[in-house]
């Protein structure tokens, strides 16, 4: 209940604190992170290629929106479908391997999609990105207004969160967690482990796809970076700093990550350098994410008060 109040409060307050575009981006990124967390936090699969599905969905739905004036809901459906389908293709090749192989394969296939997008300039615009993606009117709602679009994204985020909560609490979610805890035992109990891993992968791809389309509509462009591996790394980072074990971790991570990167990137063009430093520092000194860092800080303050 407290978390729900917290989420409701942040939804209301966020657009007052930062620009609506950034506030919207935070929730989009949170949807993206929810998808990854199903893999990373609940199934124990570290995918380093989530931008494959994010980017593919953004390109396909963006293309349809731009050239065929597609309905917004249909475009979102297409995005979810493309995300799931591309995840099915990639997942089919990857789920049979685990550990380091799995990481490397998801990354390598991410690179495959990246190079296709990079070279197929007639459709994707290559390095320049695919500009001119509209936000068509839906049921009289004018999405050109940043706050209306913000509300739309928030509704979709809440729907995603609810759905994800249902998924992880369902028998399926329990099976996935069993795979995370002990793959051999889950297999021995009679579950078809690769099948369930693939299912989790496809579900995560669908969430990524939804986030991808919303992202394309938010900025009106699909940049090449949206399908690049740095993007995949960012979402892993955001999920980990939020704390990957919990349902709400990626939301916190998304807040911290987007807010930090947006504020730093306007100051210095070489901000990925700082991002890299942040990665290294977090890994070396702050493992366990923001939540743990916070409790440690509290402990430290508490011990100071006593002395």
Partner 1 sequence: MLYALMGLGLSLITGVLNIPNFAHGALFAVGAYLLVSFVGIVGNFWIGLIVAPLGVALLGLLIEWAGIRRLYTAGHDYQLLFTFGLALILNELIIVVWGPVGISHLPPALLRGGVDLGFTFYPKYRLFVMLMAGLLVVLTWLFLEKTRYGAIMRAGIENKEMVSLLGIDIHKLFTVAFALGAYLAGIAGALTAPIRGLSPGMGVDMLGIAFVVVALGGLGNLLGAIAAGLLIGVAQAVVAAYWTEASTAVIFAVMAAVLLVRPQGLFGIR
d(Cα 104, Cα 272) in Å, to the nearest integer? 22
Residue 272 touching partner 1 (CB under 8 A):
yes
List Cα–Cα distances, 14 to 33, 55, 200, 243, in angstroms. Answer: 18, 26, 31, 21
Cα 239 to Cα 32: distance, rounded to the nearest angstrom: 10
Secondary structure (3-state) at 108: helix
**Is 124 an interacting residue with respect to partner 1 (CB under 8 A)?**
no
* Min dist. Cβ of residue 282 to partner 1 (A): 7
The distance of closest approach from Cβ of residue 119 to partner 1 in the complex, given in angstroms and rounded to an integer, is 5
With CB under 8 A as the contact rule, the residue among 48, 196, 231, 257 that binds partner 1 is 48
CB 105 within 8 A of CB 94: yes
Binding segment for partner 1 among 100-108, 182-190, 198-206, 295-303 (CB under 8 A)?
A: 100-108
Sign, CA torsion 20/23/29/30: negative
147 binds partner 1 (CB under 8 A): no
Considering only residues 213-242, where is the footprint of partner 1 by CB under 8 A? Answer: 229-230, 233, 236-237, 240
DSSP 48: S
Of 10, 96, 148, 177, which one interacts with partner 1 (CB under 8 A)? Answer: 96
Task: Report in angstroms the alpha-carbon separations of 86 from 81, 110, 203.
Answer: 8, 11, 11
Binding segment for partner 1 among 154-162, 169-177, 199-207, 276-284 (CB under 8 A)?
A: 276-284
Backbone angles phi, psi at 45, to 5 degrees: -110, 120
Which of 225/262 has CB closer to partner 1? 225
Contacts of 286 (CB under 8 A, 6+ apart): 241, 292, 293
Verify binding: residue 97, partner 1, rule CB under 8 A. yes
The residues binding partner 1 (CB under 8 A) are: 40, 46, 48, 93, 96-97, 99-101, 103-105, 107-109, 111-112, 115-116, 119, 229-230, 233, 236-237, 240, 244, 270, 272-273, 275-280, 282-284, 287
């Amino acid at each position: 209940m407290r978390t729900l109040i917290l989420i409701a409060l942040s939804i209301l307050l966020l657009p007052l604190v930062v620009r609506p575009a950034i506030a919207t981006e935070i929730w989009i990124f949170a949807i993206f992170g929810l998808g990854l967390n199903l893999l990373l936090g609940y199934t124990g699969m570290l995918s380093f290629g989530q931008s494959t599905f994010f980017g593919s969905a953004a390109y396909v739905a963006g293309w349809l929106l731009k050239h065929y004036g597609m309905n917004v809901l249909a475009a979102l459906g297409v995005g979810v479908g493309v995300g799931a389908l591309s995840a099915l293709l990639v997942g089919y090749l990857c789920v049979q391997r685990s550990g380091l192989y799995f990481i490397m394969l998801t990354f390598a296939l991410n690179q495959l999609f990246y190079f296709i997008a990079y070279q197929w300039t007639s459709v994707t615009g290559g390095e320049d990105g695919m500009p001119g993606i509209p936000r068509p009117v839906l049921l009289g709602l004018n999405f050109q207004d940043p706050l209306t679009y913000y509300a739309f994204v928030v509704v979709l985020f809440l729907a995603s969160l609810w759905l994800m909560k249902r998924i992880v609490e369902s028998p399926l979610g329990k099976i996935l967690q069993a795979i995370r805890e002990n793959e051999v035992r889950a297999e021995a109990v009679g579950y078809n482990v690769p099948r369930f891993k693939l299912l989790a992968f496809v579900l995560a791809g669908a969430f990524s796809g939804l986030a991808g389309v919303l992202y394309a509509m938010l900025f009106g462009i699909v940049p090449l970076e949206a399908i690049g591996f740095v993007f995949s790394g960012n979402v892993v980072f955001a999920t980990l700093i939020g704390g990957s074990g919990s349902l709400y971790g990626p939301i916190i991570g998304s807040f911290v990550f987007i807010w930090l990167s947006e504020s730093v990137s306007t100051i210095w063009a070489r901000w990925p350098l700082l991002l890299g430093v942040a990665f290294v520092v977090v890994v070396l000194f702050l493992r366990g994410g923001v939540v743990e860092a916070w409790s440690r800080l509290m402990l430290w303050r508490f011990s100071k008060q006593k002395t």
